[in-house]
Chains A and B, each alone.
Chain A
Amino acid sequence: MTAETNTRTIEIDVLRYDPDTEAPPRYQTYKVPFQHDTSVLQGLQYIKDNLDGTLTFRWSCRMAICGSCGTMINGIPQLSCHTFLRDYWPKKLRIDPLEHFPIIKDLAIDQTDFLNKLDSVKPYLIPKQEKPISEGAYLQTPKQMEQYYNYSQCINCLLCYAACPQYGLTPTFTGPAALALLHRYNADSRDVGWSARSDVLNSEDGVWRCTLVGYCSEVCPKNVDPAHAINQNKVNSTLDYFGVLKLLSTVGLGK
């Protein structure tokens, strides 16, 4: 580490789980030196580099854009690269893997359910017809972009799934991030894929599984506001059910 001017030590309990043994998960305590700007991720890296190379966790960009490092820190879903040890000292820190996901090893959770949910919402532009490249870009005004831009900011960090008690109770729920992305495409002026995605949106496990707890939007590090994406579509879903698609406010209509 670089020259210390003001090094303190904090105790961290980390949930350990080894898939190659039968033993259930248990906590292990480490003492980690830190400075003012040391993140929880850097704390974990310190442990792995110097104290215990078996400690396993995902990370990559270190700047809250790749979405790899989601964990539960004192029971709250957060990005470990974006959370700082100084804010917990002198109390102990407890790190668990993201809630509501199966644990593969230590802090690494199984993301495959989310990847399948992502597939199911058809998260790609479905235009009215293929536009030749020679015609150039679609026109899209800043106002039109405002309709969906916020929902395109999702880094797929899965903190919202950890936050959502409905996902915890009913894991077939499509979930906040996937539904936010579904809405992102529906609300894009270049897209007409409402019908292609309506089965997923209208289903019991679509928007209707959401009871507007709203914790997903609270923990989202990018202010995507998935709760808004889902709940504004309850009106759309109802109108769709009654066959009055044309009253849908801003989403593209399937043909």
Chain B
Amino acid sequence: MSGRFKPAVKTYTRPVTGGWWKENPFYIWYTLRELTAVGVFLYGVVLVTGVVSLGIGENAYNAWRAALTTWTSLIFHLILFALLVYHSYTWFKVMPKTTPQIPIAPQTIVRTGVAVTTALSLVIVAVLFGVTR
């Protein structure tokens, strides 16, 4: 940045390599956190495909549902599920950094968020399970 302080003349600048994200466990977990957004996107694609197939017709929709029951799909969805769990957890893990100065301990914010999300998820699963019976 320009300013009244001029940098020293003979310095050596170390280049930032493309592999910076691998150099430190903290960076690796951060990069994974960011990549979970891709997981969210991919799951969105799956759902949109389902909606589109519903619009095309009954055959297309059944084909989509059939594709979902394959082993490939199950493994794919398990991976996505792991990514989305990490996505949700890290969402709350960084939340304390985004609030104004409030007298609530960061741990409390994280634990409350995770607890509420888990509870709501279980409720939704139970309701859907009941509805699809």
Chain A contact residues, CB within 8 Å of chain B: 17, 19-20, 24-25, 75-76, 99-100, 102-104, 110, 112-113, 115-117, 119-120, 146-147, 165, 168-169, 171-172, 187, 211-215, 217-218, 225, 227-228, 231-232, 234-235, 249-250
Contact = CB atoms under 8 A, between A and B. Distances in A.
A113 B1 contact: yes
B59 interface: no
Contact of B98 (A102, A218, A231): A231
B98 A234 contact: yes
The dominant DSSP class at the B interface is: loop
Interface stretch (B16-24, B40-48, B113-121): B16-24
A165 B30 CA distance: 11
A144 B6 CA distance: 38
A100 B16 contact: yes
A232 B98 contact: yes
B97 A249 contact: no
B25 to A, nearest CB: 10
Nearest to A97: B14
A235 B98 CA distance: 8
20 contacts: A17-B12, A19-B11, A75-B23, A99-B14, A102-B8, A103-B11, A104-B8, A104-B10, A110-B7, A110-B11, A116-B4, A116-B5, A147-B101, A169-B16, A212-B98, A213-B26, A232-B98, A234-B98, A235-B98, A249-B100
A117 B7 CA distance: 13
A104 B10 CA distance: 7
B50 interface: no
